[in-house]
Amino acid sequence: MSDCLPCDLEAAESSAIIYRDETWSCEIADGYDVPGWFILRLRRHAEGWAGPTVEELSGFGPVSQKLAAAIQSATGAIGTYFMSFGENYPHFHFLVIARGADLPPDSRGAAILARRADDRDLAAALTVGASVRYLLTAPTP
């Protein structure tokens, strides 16, 4: 394990991997294993918005759009949060969170992070993750 959680996700167990291509990856991360919570990250280590190349960033939009749609479809969420602070881990990454309709007003926005300790459930997170993975890879009609 390094000091970079997003880099360490490169060695995630297959059940925790939601999406991967040559540039982008999405996983369920230990410590953030809340149903509907994922880490979307650049696979190579790059820091801040200045770190990724223009080519890498051109893939961010399509990947994040597909991921948000799959998360909302799998969870019934009314929206999807993409959060990136870069303080604890400067690696270019986003915490992607399904935002349910029943989320109390005092837990909306960045306040949702306070729910992490109480809402962790690895088995449920992996079940939701499997549904999101399926939706990302299922053929479209």
Which domains are assigned to the chain? 5-134 (3.30.428.10)
pLDDT above 70 covers what percent of the chain? Answer: 98
Q: Is 131 exposed, middle or buried (0-12, 13-18, 19+ CB in 10 A)?
A: middle
pLDDT given at position 87: 86
pLDDT given at position 75: 96
pLDDT given at position 1: 62
Q: How large is the average pLDDT for residues 114-126?
A: 95
pLDDT given at position 141: 64
Distance, CA of 82 to chain centre: 8
Cα→Cα distances 129→3, 13, 28, 124, Å: 25, 12, 7, 8
pLDDT in tens, 123-134: 999 999 999 999
pLDDT given at position 3: 86
pLDDT given at position 55: 96
The encoded tokens of residue 61 equal 């939009």
0.85 exceeded by pTM: yes
Owner of token pair 């870069």 = 86
